[in-house]
Each structure stands twice: as structure tokens, then as C-alpha cells.
Amino acid sequence: MDPETKRKLGLAAAWCGPLFVVTYTIFWGILGHNIPPPNMMGLSAQELIAQYYGKYQFEIAMGMIGCCVAGGFYLMFSLQLASMMRDEDGQLGLTAMMELGGGILTSWSVIFCPAL
């Protein structure tokens, strides 16, 4: 791969970090109706579903689908970080492997949990 293409791909992957933060906040928080959190004080589970989650069921489902897509941005960002750490060390050292493993596991959790 020529250096210019490698630089452009690296820059795109680096911008996936801020893109993840913005899109996950929008989908999970706003569209998923988690900001502000539902007022659960004094409501039973059935009342909470009937009064809150049932009313916003479609928006919450769309928000969780968006969270699954946005989780891929986190994966690309953490892979870019691990790649930069590997390039700095000249080998796949301990810190780069920790970043790689942590990024894969974290992105799996932010994709898998909303999918459930």
C-alpha cells in the first residue's frame, strides 16, 4: 500500500473515535430515551413498561440498532491505536496487544448488549 493511502486510511480510522462518541450518545441517549433516565421511582415493572418503554418501543429499537452500528466505529478506532503503538515500538509489544484486546472486547460489548 502506498504511504498516501495508508495515511488516509489511518486518518479515517482515527476519526472513528470522535464519531463513535457522538453517534453512540445520539442513538443510546437521545433516540434510545436514556437521557434523561426514566423516572422509575414508585413504578412497578409492569407500570414502567406500560408508561415508558411501551410508548417508545420503536424509537428505542431504532436507537439500539444505531448503537450496534456505532460500536463498529469504536473497533476501527482502537485498531488504529494498536497499529500506531505497534509502529512506534517496531513490534507488537505488550501495550499494543493490551490495546488490541481491550478494544476488541469493549467494542464487542457495546455492539452485543444493545443487540440483545
Instruction: Determine the number of helices (DSSP H) and then strands (DSSP E) in the chain.
Output: 4, 0
With respect to residue 38, please indicate whether it lies within any of the assigned structural domains. Answer: yes
Number of domains into which the chain is organized: 1
With respect to residue 52, please indicate whether it lies within any of the assigned structural domains. Answer: yes
With respect to residue 7, please indicate whether it lies within any of the assigned structural domains. Answer: no
Report the predicted TM-score, pTM, of the whole model to 2 decimal places: 0.85
Evaluate if residue 36 carries a pLDDT over 80. no
Domain that holds residue 80: 15-115
Could you tell me the three cell numbers for 29?
441517549
Distance, CA of 52 to CA of 96 (rounded, Å):
43
The lowest-confidence range among 25-39, 62-76, 102-116 is 25-39
Q: What is the pLDDT of residues 53-93, one digit of tens each?
A: 888 899 999 999 999 999 999 999 999 999 999 999 888 88
With respect to residue 2, please indicate whether it lies within any of the assigned structural domains. Answer: no
Q: What is the pLDDT of residues 20-29, one digit of tens each?
A: 999 999 999 9
